[in-house]
Structure 1
Amino acid sequence: MIAKSSAEPLDDPTVWAVTCFVVRREHRGLGLNKTLLDAAIDVARDSGARLIEGYPIDNGGTSVRSNDLYHGALSTFLRAGFVEAATMKPGRALVTLDLTT
């Protein structure tokens, strides 16, 4: 399914989004995106979020330039418990994590 955007209302304060990661070049490749994503999940949960969305890159297991991964890698989100909700465009997924369960 190709989706243009989330089906969630834009003004719903219980829906949070992880939109990008910023990691200095010398610290890339150390697993910091996972650490940052885990921290974002904790903050969202503690702040009353019911759902978190992400819009990561699906590199299909191929190598991509690190500058192209600022949205995060799909594999990082899936390992954190997110599920693929839709394909926004080729190579870009919409993923969600339900915090109510």
Structure 2
Amino acid sequence: MAFHAEGVGRTKTPAQNRSEKECRVREGRAHAALVYDGPHCVGWCQFGPTDELPRIKHRRAYLDGLSALPDWRITCFFVHRGYRHRGVASAALDGALQEIARLGGGTVESYPEDVDGRSASASFLHNGTVAMFERHGFARTRRLGKHHWVVTRVVT
């Protein structure tokens, strides 16, 4: 819920966040590409139009260099601990890009972390890595902070 307009807030419980997310999903106001291993969901990638996901991290730096909003945002990934470093996030990203194309395509933007030359815990890479996005045809557009970048790609 952190990237949706409602956010998570200090006054909301995890149960309230789950309930609000479920409501958005049932109403078709939330998008994600899910990755399964048999019957078990082992990861996902959240994406959506900018009005669905208006909240992003590094907002001040993002707005400072903004020339135009993208059509779509990819805001976060989750990969189950036992499935990390096995291509789950990449599969989720591929699924999200396929769904964005099915929904009309357009400019897609995300905010991954550059981990080249340094160690970073996979449990904290909620935005994915720059290298993964570059393998999927994204280009670095501008820096958001010491290690985060805006990356973009047009999907048709």
> TM bucket by the smaller chain?
0.7 to 0.9
Q: C-alpha separation between the residues in 1 aligned to 2:154 and 2:117?
A: 26
Q: C-alpha separation between the residues in 2 aligned to 1:70 and 1:7?
A: 25
Q: Does 1:78 align with 2:138?
A: no
Alignment TM-score, normalising by the size of structure 1: 0.85
Bigger Rg, which one: 2
SS of corresponding position for 1:20: strand
Deviation, structure 1 residue 61: 3.4
The one-letter amino acid paired with 2:92 is L
Greater fraction strand? 2
Q: C-alpha separation between the residues in 2 aligned to 1:33 and 1:7?
A: 29
Aligned equivalent of 1:8:
68
Deviation, structure 1 residue 66: 1.2
What residue ranges of structure 1 are gaps of 5+ in the alignment?
Answer: none
What residue ranges of structure 2 are gaps of 5+ in the alignment?
Answer: 1-59
Deviation, structure 1 residue 49: 2.5
Greater alpha carbon shift after TM alignment, 79-88 vs 58-67: 58-67
The one-letter amino acid paired with 1:60 is D
Out of 76, 80, 85, the position equivalent to 1:29 is: 85
Deviation, structure 1 residue 67: 1.9
The one-letter amino acid paired with 2:125 is L
Does the aligned pair in 1 maintain the 2:81–2:123 contact within 8 Å?
no
Aligned residues: 94
Out of 38, 47, 51, the position equivalent to 2:103 is: 47
The one-letter amino acid paired with 1:8 is A
* Structure with bigger RCO (C-alpha 8 Å, 6+ apart): 1
Aligned equivalent of 2:153:
97
Q: C-alpha separation between the residues in 2 aligned to 1:61 and 1:80?
A: 21
